[in-house]
Amino acid sequence: MPEASVLSVIYDKLNSHFGDLHWWPGETPFEVMVGAILTQNTAWQNVERALDNLKAAGLLDPQWLYETDSRILEELIRPAGYFRIKTFRLKNFLSFLCSHYGWDLEKMFSEDLWLLRDQLLSINGIGKETADSILLYAANQPIFVIDTYTRRIFQRHGVIASDMHYDALQTFVMKSLPKDVPLYNQYHALIVNTGKRYCRTVPRCEECPLNSIGYYG
């Protein structure tokens, strides 16, 4: 089966199984961006606790958060883990937002997709998955987010080689699917849910909605 057809089959089966997942959770684009940075190396429920702390403190505003003392910010985001490192990364991102776009998110979001991606990747502490999550979920830009679950699921079903690097895999997916923000959004959410529930390090293939299309190890 052609790779593009396989990706469509995978999407259809997962979409039928899970339904619309409404991901990424966040009341504002800025909250989504903060969440994308805080979710590095931790479970989402921990990020939610940190975001709730920031909301309660009235700090989910770019300039206010930037001006907050780092020691205070560290305590507020402590539930997300690696709180000192993540405070440093948040401050780096906020400094970028101030210096390049004067706190104006709409101005930032109107930037060319690939130029903005390069700018985000130049920020200390912002990697490809985090940058692409910001672009897709906060800026509504048509870019597909690659994570461990994406690689594992596609590899196990024979769609990609095990050594395919991030950019090559992203290009492959985006060439195989229509350029569509809601599609990319939902597809990534479906992959994450499948990875967490079924396609674990030790897979639960019997229960997986993809078991009918085969498992290749």
pLDDT of residue 2: 55
pLDDT of residue 212: 85
Do 74 and 84 touch, CB atoms closer than 8 A?
Answer: yes
**pLDDT-flagged residues of the chain (< 70):** 1-4, 214-217
pLDDT of residue 213: 83
Residue with tokens 């940190």: 50
Do 151 and 169 touch, CB atoms closer than 8 A?
Answer: yes
pTM of this structure: 0.94
pLDDT of residue 5: 85
Residue 202 to residue 161: CA distance in whole angstroms: 19
Report which secondary-structure segment, H or E, holds 62: helix 62-67
What is each CA distance from 168 to 134, 161, 171, 174, 192, in whole angstroms?
20, 11, 5, 10, 20
What is each CA distance from 52 to 81, 144, 188, in whole angstroms?
15, 28, 24
Quick count: other Cβ atoms within 10 Å of Cβ 67?
A: 10
Please state the length of the chain: 217
Residue 199 to residue 207: CA distance in whole angstroms: 10
- Angle, nearest 10°, between helix axes 83-101 and 113-121? 140
pLDDT of residue 94: 98
